[in-house]
Structure 1
Amino acid sequence: MERLTETTLPRQREHKKQVAGFFMTPDWVKNPEGAEYYIKRMADDGYTVADLFWRYFNRNLYCKEQEIYSSVRKIVDMVHNHGMRCILDTDYAWWGTRFCELHPESWLKLYKGERVAVHGGKFRFLGKYAPVTVLMKVGHKLFDSLDAYVEEDGAVRRLNAGEFTYQWQTTGTGFEVRGTMKQPQKGEAFLFYGVRYSACPDVADPQYLEAQKEIIDDLAAAGAELDGFGWDEPGKAANNPLYLKSGNAFRELFIREKGYDYLDKLPYLSYFDDTPEAVKVRVDYYELQNAVNKKAQQEFNDYAEKVAGRKLFFGTHQTWSGIIADTAAGTSDYFNNGTVLSAAWTDGSWECDLHMFTFHMTLADSLRNELGFRDAYYNDWGSSVPAVEEMKFATRFKMLFNVNWFSSWHSDSTDNIINYRMEPLHTRTVEAVRDFDMFDKMLSDMKRVVEVGILYNWKAVCTGPKWLARYHYTGIGNTPLSLLDRGISANFLSPEALESAVLKDGILECRNRKLQALIMPNCFTLTDRCWEVIKEISAAGFPVYFYGVTPMMTESGRDISREFAELAGVEPYTLSDMKASYSEFGAIPDPGAWEEELYDALNIVNVTNGTPVYDSDDRIYAVKAPAGGLVLMTGIDPREDLAYMVARNVSKPEEVFAERAYHTWFSNKDGSEKVLMICAHSRMADTFASSARFTGGVMGRTRKKYHEMRCYIRTDKSSVKVDGGAWCAIRFRNGIPVEYIADDKTSVMAE
């Protein structure tokens, strides 16, 4: 073998893609020149976009103070003078209090249900305020209403005002409610209390939609020539899964759009999980929650471009990239809501364990492919402290997906997050920016080769029981990681993409991806069209793997549980049966708990004419359907079991052996030119920017991590050996290696 020559790309810095965020501080309003030190540092470090955040101010972007908009203009000018573009974060969490004080009819309202015992026609319960104002630190929470419901003849009926009475008083963390009702005298009732929040607007309100445009006008009038705007976590004002998000305008819109008042059916949003009525109400409610968030952003963006008279750059991301809080916030439809941005953006969801890090990278790449973006970004919390080793792994792991860096934060105010000022961390960040840029330049317009699709069925989580979400997000984090461990690359698919997928010669063509297998996690509900597609392609022999909670109903409320069981070759079972099975392996997750790193619960099934597959304890972990390509995985989080079975259906034109390393391929459209990216294994912090259980803390020591990759690659025309180091990217032209980039410890030999 001969040593392959390293390319000169590391010395080229004209190709810049990385984004840096920095916080405005109150002193900069009067003295904006205080920002220049940080702006120059970001420019010198190689960033191309500076994202200015206006947070924790009483004087906010809706205060109508000329001095505020003038300071933004001066900072934007400084950013331009240093050769970068400047965008401004404008999500309402940081100016909504001012708006709500002027427009109290536009306040956000949250509902929470209580299942309450009734004795002698009397009831009593303690309610809690939702933790909605944690970020804003301000605002009033006002008890507003109580709605009562009873179950009669298998349906829910809302009581009218003459059928019950109540009184309430505050208790510190919430309030006590006591009351009476005519019927029932003994039994139970569903009581939903509503609380108004003065710090948070209802984004469906037309007055709010006009207010966000006023901010654009005020900035433009001051001469601030911004290059774009950001929406960081636009739904964060209400994110607790036990509470339901509403407002006067949202309710009026719901009645117009859906033809009924959801207040008549509130219990179906929190109870009666396995019923067609609950599915219908939840689909309607969560669809509209996502729609109003998208509309608010889209109207803002369209107006900003109209005022600017040019194309602008929009980020940063929808809320938390898939954790359960996204459902409550009304931001879980990432594919549809992602169309309002200029690139694919995901966020770390305050969770940096490797399974979720893999999920965020996979989602970013999936959004780029399905929505047709050139670029993808990740809002990075991926550092424990000390941070150097964690950040180095985060860098090369993002490169594995060609996801670029939105790096936060680069000024003195940082949300108590690392700000990269100290050495050697600062120098390592500069090197990371360089590495990202040179790898992005090497790929040009190449796309990651995707072999397996995973359905991103957000409505199934919304329509299912609350406990399902906790299982689900652990599972869809572990699934792409388990596949990656086997050298298999995956993408998430929207239901809309699956509905239009076409099977040709054993390959499922699905919006810019050619798939060899499909994974269906926790599909409690499916659209009618998705269900038909699944039956068609699996009958044709295409591999389709279901795991977790399997299809019970379509979104229209049609029961398909028996039809699914017949296809899978097992006896029919119910949602209650699955929950009972899972509980035999441990407690069902609490809706308010954080996700575990893994779950090992199984759905205990009775096989009819399917073919069971047993684990070492003689338990059934999979059932192959009697005909076609459908496979039922019984685990709620099947991990290696699933990856093992999927790998049997994935073929590759090249052979890669990677020891202590991950790898993935990128390709141009015709496959004549490819890049193989290899990165050494490591792990992420347990939580963002804090001491992890494997580190010594802020003043402690993180051991140096020694990486010695050993990889062998064989194409039909060449063989390549990679030794040492932590990462390497090799370009192949018609199967022959022609150049590579790598860290300074890696050598590449080819023949």
Structure 2
Amino acid sequence: MPRNHNQSMGYWINEPILKDPERIDRDMAALAEAGYGIVRVFLRKSNYHHRSPEFVRAVARVVEAAHARGLRVALDCEPRGGGFCHDLGQAYPDAVGRQLLPAAARVVDGVWRLRAAPHSAWTFEGVEAAFLKRDGTVARIELEFQADREGHFRARDGLHRELVSREGVALGGENLFTLCGTLPGVADGELVVYLRFITRGQPDFWADGLRRYYDELLECYRDIPLDGVGWDEPGCGSDWKAYRYGIAFAAAFERLNGYALADKLYLLDAPGMSAEATRVRLDYYRTLGEGLAQAQANLIAKARELFGNDLLLGTHHTWQGEGGINDYRDGAMDYFRLNDNMDAGYTDCSWWDPPSVAYAYALATSLARLSPSGEAEVNSWHFKPTVDNSRVNVNRMTLMNITWFNIWYGGDYDCILQQGHYTWPETVRLMQRHRDLQRHIGKKRPVVEVAVWHGWEGVCAWNQPGLANVQKSFCINTSQLFLERGIAMDFLDSRLLAASRVEGGRLVNDLGRYRVLIVPYALVLPREAFDACAAFARAGGRVVFVGTPVARDERGESLAEDFARLLDVPAMTAERYMEGLEAICDLPNYRPQRLEVCRPLPADWPRVLVSCEGERHGVASPDGNAVFLSDLDPGQRLVERIEDAVSPEVEAYGENLLWRLYRGDGGDLLVVVAREDRPLGGIVRWRKHGIELTGGSAGLFSMEEGSLAVRGDVLWTQVPRR
């Protein structure tokens, strides 16, 4: 069954609904009456798990009631959380995940003592590997130790307290682990230890027990005609203090890469980015991501066996939306590889952070055009929605052709949109208008001339959260800036870039045809992808590298000389470049909204670009086709380097106006929406026509029988084009 831009609503089942199952019938009737087409069923904040008979019966009732009203139902059975992992661990203990927490200590006269602070829910299991550094060498050693755990309370504002409570101070608990011992015959040195903890909230995606568990879970629904399955946020629960791990993961790593990760763990956190460290880090993250992709493929294969091939498959992958950086340590950093399993392009965003919304939409539309359905479905929501921010964000979904996955209907949470919520009538009206406009866009594709590399290799090879934060900040802020400037952009990964060819001065691949390629934070870039960049620049395309130079390829071999030849400048290593950056700026431990910093380039470099502030922030090749900007978040400086290389077919003037051009069977379509919740206004020049917009919020312009036609609520008049 075609998706046909049916809009989705998340339906939360927990104890209140399980105690009042007749409510399910009322809720499905209300959603059908509102015009929704897809119901995504979730189990949240409940003492039950997905194999509980009570929950299975509730899902059966949802499906029966929904199908009777023409709705499709997809079951979310996310592999995370205490209830899930408790059930998984009882059935298949091998499938419970681990985390490796690095810690270091000095060895003095053979004695050492180290402390580590894991998450309070973790259980210490042992030492995965220990390494002794001395005299410029590193050796793996066996370690005998004594371990002790202390419970402490920490004030959430960062002030330390040792009492259980203190008036006016909110406290949180943490565990402090102390390990100590002796190393006979070792006078001094540095000890690096990787402590292994059972997490209980995360599975090991490589474990065969996880596959068998999900086979059995879906068998519980064999007699229920589900229309789809998915995992909401399977990449959830990790951060940059530790490494996601597991028994099966370690075995898969050795099988895929030809060596045991435990023997090389110290290289994950070694200073710099040596050739060997680069290989180990990329092998780690690639194996982690492939485990998640394979686990999802296993789930989908079982779902197709039980429910057929015409299924809704998947949702987004990370717990905090794609605006954060924990997706790296959860194995959800390669969105394009994970997208191979999906029926549509899925991302997630919350309206509290408008730039991350723009990023999630741009990423989703790119993923969508590589998926079977061609649709982009985004879990686009807000903690406490208002009519104002609903109108603004629905307009942007229309602009970007985003199918709206809203939450939650049927539970007790801040962002619920059940009928009693005052925003519900306007939500329904906006959703229906948006759906109808989307259906007019249909299969048309956006006209895009700018591609942005969305690779994970550069960040993972450096393996520091600061670089991850500035890379994500660049992607988010650039998405917002380009949206507001009317610069259509696509994200692409290393596979697409490597497979690209140059035709008529454009970079061509399965996603689109581009005049401009932007490559941010590519300290590591697969060699074939770099070769595609170089070929495009030499053929007259515009290639802009941002943030860092290219230093190595996916095998750890140097690309610094190739990068230098492309720009005709001296070569620079990753370590040297990052030293210069760290000399002027501490990279943030959170994602900044703006980071107006550039790494000053050497004064003796030729053709250095100098900003109005006197900063040596870039360099261009002799022909100007290849550019390197050392700005961490260049913004307008980036626009200035690409605007002469694109040829927009639309001119738009108005501070409450956003536009996007689509092309496909039946001709072109121009989408215009209001940027804010007030009447649309401005002047648009398209083809031979001048259009004055004087009201409304969203509309689609097209040519029908030689004349302009419009759909939507836009008020407009045709004016002479000058």
- Indicate which of 42, 46, 62 corresponds to 1:53: 42
How far apart, CA to CA, are the structure 2 residues paired with 1:651 and 1:195? 55
Summarize deviations over 1:45-76 as a string: whole Å, max 9, x none: 1110001101233221234x3x4322321221
- Kept after mapping to 2: 8 A contact 1:567/1:626: no
**CA distance 1:728–1:644, change in 2 (3 Å):** farther
1:158 aligns with: 140
1:667 aligns with: 663
- Indicate which of 215, 218, 221 corresponds to 1:216: 218
1:713 aligns with 2:685: yes
1:355 partner amino acid: P
- Indicate which of 671, 676, 679 corresponds to 1:677: 671
- Indicate which of 173, 181, 184 corresponds to 2:183: 181
2:90 partner amino acid: E
- Indicate which of 118, 125, 130 corresponds to 1:129: 118
Q: Please list, as runs of the form range in 1=range in 2, the aligned pairs for 1:420-431 lying within 5 A after superposition.
A: 421-422=419-420, 424-431=422-429
1:289 aligns with: 288
Post-superposition offset of 1:143 = 3.8
How far apart, CA to CA, are the structure 2 residues paired with 1:130 and 1:741? 54
| Range 15-24 or range 337-346, more displaced | 15-24
Q: Please list, as runs of the form range in 1=range in 2, the aligned pairs for 1:249-648 lying within 5 A after superposition.
A: 249-319=248-318, 320-321=321-322, 323-348=324-349, 352-371=352-371, 373-381=373-381, 383=382, 385=384, 387-414=386-413, 416-419=414-417, 421-422=419-420, 424-466=422-464, 467-583=466-582, 585-590=584-589, 594-606=590-602, 608=604, 610-627=606-623, 629-648=625-644
Q: Please list, as runs of the form range in 1=range in 2, the aligned pairs for 1:180-199 lying within 5 A after superposition.
A: 180-182=182-184, 184-199=186-201
1:167 partner amino acid: A
Summarize deviations over 1:220-268 as a string: whole Å, max 9, x none: 1xx32111112100121x3212211111111111112211110111121
How far apart, CA to CA, are the structure 1 residues paired with 2:712 and 2:58? 43
How far apart, CA to CA, are the structure 1 residues paired with 2:654 and 2:619? 31
**CA distance 1:154–1:630, change in 2 (3 Å):** farther
SS in 1 for 2:653: strand
1:17 aligns with 2:12: no
Post-superposition offset of 1:195 = 0.6
1:357 partner amino acid: V
| Range 601-610 or range 645-654, more displaced | 601-610
How far apart, CA to CA, are the structure 2 residues paired with 1:328 and 1:306? 32
1:239 aligns with: 238
How far apart, CA to CA, are the structure 1 residues paired with 2:631 and 2:233? 32
Post-superposition offset of 1:422 = 4.4
SS in 2 for 1:370: coil
How far apart, CA to CA, are the structure 2 residues paired with 1:449 and 1:729? 15
- Kept after mapping to 2: 8 A contact 1:396/1:727: yes
| Range 45-54 or range 179-188, more displaced | 179-188
| Range 43-52 or range 88-97, more displaced | 88-97
1:579 partner amino acid: M
How far apart, CA to CA, are the structure 1 residues paired with 2:59 and 2:716? 48
SS in 2 for 1:51: strand
- Kept after mapping to 1: 8 A contact 2:361/2:400: yes
- Kept after mapping to 1: 8 A contact 2:660/2:671: yes
1:650 partner amino acid: V
1:96 aligns with: 85
Summarize deviations over 1:655-707 as a string: whole Å, max 9, x none: 333443221101116xx61111122224xxxxxxxxxxxxxxxxxxxxxx534
Summarize deviations over 1:602-631 as a string: whole Å, max 9, x none: 111125564222222111232111246100
How far apart, CA to CA, are the structure 1 residues paired with 2:604 and 2:540? 20
2:711 partner amino acid: I
SS in 2 for 1:256: helix
TM-score (norm 1): 0.87
| Range 53-62 or range 175-184, more displaced | 175-184
**CA distance 1:26–1:730, change in 2 (3 Å):** same
- Indicate which of 705, 708, 715 corresponds to 1:738: 708
**CA distance 1:747–1:149, change in 2 (3 Å):** same
| Range 552-561 or range 577-586, more displaced | 577-586
- Kept after mapping to 2: 8 A contact 1:101/1:198: no
| Range 177-186 or range 555-564, more displaced | 177-186
2:65 partner amino acid: M
How far apart, CA to CA, are the structure 2 residues paired with 1:468 and 1:323? 12
2:138 partner amino acid: V
1:204 aligns with: 206
Identical amino acids, percent of aligned pairs = 22
- Kept after mapping to 2: 8 A contact 1:69/1:224: no
Segments of 5+ residues of structure 1 without an aligned counterpart are: 1-13, 134-139, 683-704
**CA distance 1:268–1:508, change in 2 (3 Å):** same
Post-superposition offset of 1:584 = 5.2
- Indicate which of 87, 97, 118 corresponds to 2:74: 87
Summarize deviations over 1:700-735 as a string: whole Å, max 9, x none: xxxxx53442122231x333222233333211359x
SS in 2 for 1:518: strand
**CA distance 1:576–1:272, change in 2 (3 Å):** same
**CA distance 1:504–1:356, change in 2 (3 Å):** same
How far apart, CA to CA, are the structure 2 residues paired with 1:277 and 1:406? 43
- Kept after mapping to 1: 8 A contact 2:204/2:245: yes
| Range 52-61 or range 444-453, more displaced | 52-61
1:40 aligns with: 29
| Range 446-455 or range 645-654, more displaced | 645-654
2:100 aligns with: 111
How far apart, CA to CA, are the structure 2 residues paired with 1:199 and 1:481? 34
- Indicate which of 70, 84, 88 corresponds to 2:57: 70
1:169 aligns with 2:149: yes
How far apart, CA to CA, are the structure 2 residues paired with 1:475 and 1:654? 26
How far apart, CA to CA, are the structure 2 residues paired with 1:40 and 1:370? 34
- Structure possessing the higher relative contact order (Cα contacts under 8 Å, 6 or more residues apart): 1
SS in 1 for 2:696: coil
Post-superposition offset of 1:296 = 1.0
1:714 partner amino acid: W
1:376 partner amino acid: A
2:160 aligns with: none
How far apart, CA to CA, are the structure 2 residues paired with 1:440 and 1:316? 20
SS in 1 for 2:244: strand
| Range 298-307 or range 609-618, more displaced | 609-618
Aligned CA RMSD, in angstroms, stands at 2.3
SS in 1 for 2:632: coil
2:696 partner amino acid: G
**CA distance 1:18–1:750, change in 2 (3 Å):** farther
- Kept after mapping to 1: 8 A contact 2:683/2:690: no
**CA distance 1:184–1:710, change in 2 (3 Å):** farther
Summarize deviations over 1:369-423 as a string: whole Å, max 9, x none: 2345321111113x36461111111101111110110000011333x32435446
- Kept after mapping to 2: 8 A contact 1:450/1:514: yes
SS in 2 for 1:554: coil
Task: State the aligned residue count.
Answer: 691
**CA distance 1:445–1:314, change in 2 (3 Å):** same
How far apart, CA to CA, are the structure 2 residues paired with 1:748 and 1:156? 74
1:655 aligns with: 651
1:613 partner amino acid: L
2:370 partner amino acid: E
- Kept after mapping to 2: 8 A contact 1:522/1:549: yes
- Kept after mapping to 2: 8 A contact 1:610/1:625: no
SS in 2 for 1:340: coil
1:446 partner amino acid: K
**CA distance 1:154–1:361, change in 2 (3 Å):** farther
2:183 partner amino acid: M
- Kept after mapping to 2: 8 A contact 1:581/1:602: no
